[in-house]
Each structure stands twice: as C-alpha cells, then as structure tokens.
C-alpha cells in the first residue's frame, strides 16, 4: 500500500515517534511524505531497520508550504495514495492553510482513510484492511463516482 505521512512542525516528533512504534506495521509498504517529515521518518526507520529499510521505501515530496501538500493531493486524485496520516497542528495557524484544507478535502472526496492524530493512526495501522488494497475488500465506487459527474 501507499501510505502518505504528513506532519506540521509542532507534530513532527509525534509522527516520527508513532512511525518508530509501528515500524513493523509500516514495513513493506511504500511511504510518501512531505519534505522534512520524510527525511525524519527515513532516518528513524533506517535506525531501526538498518539494511531492511529499503523494503520500506520513503519518497519525499516538497515541503508542505512549498507545494508538498498539493503534490500529495495530486497523488490522491491520481489514485496513488491508499492511506493518509496527517498530524496537523490545530493550535497554530499555517501560512499554507488553504493547501492543508485542500489536502484534507481531497482525501475525503476520494474516500481515503485519513488519520489526524495518534489514536486514529493507531486504529488504521491495526486494521486488517491495511494489508488490502482499497477496493479489494470494500467497493466504494458508488460513493466516489457520484462526485465525479
């Protein structure tokens, strides 16, 4: 599966800690991250997995404020993201707030499982559906196609 990982500055430590705690569940999946978050996650996984870390590739897009959120939204619209884990900071205004809202909107529009905090992210990675490609177990086409007309 393609799992997107995004975190605002005040939440990066939480996301890296979460990724370290769930390294076994993430292993073997492809991780797509915005800039700094991706570099931090890649380092954390390499520290834990060593030579095994290539089995969990981490692709880094641009930083969120520099277009990474928009790139992530584009990947969702193209069907290249299966899960979004986005630890956003509800207590701090973001200069790219419009992009943040667009990313959350597009993940909802395309029915992408989205976690915005540790508790929900824990639920997603513990789900038996994590190993399944969306659509293989559940058919959401009626939902998603109604928005495309």
- Six-digit token pair at 68? 């990474």
- The CA distance from 85 to 87, in Å, is 7
Neighbouring residues of 59: CB distance < 8 A, sequence distance ≥ 6: 30, 31, 32, 33, 38
Active site residue 69: yes
Radius of gyration of the chain (CA): 15
Catalytic residue among 14, 47, 51, 69: 69
- The CA distance from 90 to 41, in Å, is 22
Active site residues per annotation = 69
């Amino acid at each position: 599966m393609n799992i997107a990982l995004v975190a605002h500055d005040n939440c990066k430590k939480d996301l890296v800690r979460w990724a370290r705690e769930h390294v076994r569940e993430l292993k073997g999946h492809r991780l797509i991250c915005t800039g700094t978050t991706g570099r931090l996650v890649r380092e954390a996984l390499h520290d834990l997995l060593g030579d095994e870390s290539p089995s969990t590739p981490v692709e880094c897009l641009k930083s969120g404020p520099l277009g990474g959120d928009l790139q992530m939204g584009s990947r969702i619209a193209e069907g290249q993201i299966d899960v979004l884990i986005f630890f956003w900071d509800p207590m701090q205004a973001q200069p790219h707030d419009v992009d943040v809202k667009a990313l959350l909107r597009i993940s909802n529009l395309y029915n992408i499982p989205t976690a915005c905090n540790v508790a929900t992210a824990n639920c997603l990675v513990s789900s038996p559906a994590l190993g399944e490609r969306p659509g293989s177990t559940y058919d959401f086409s009626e939902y998603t196609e109604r928005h495309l007309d």
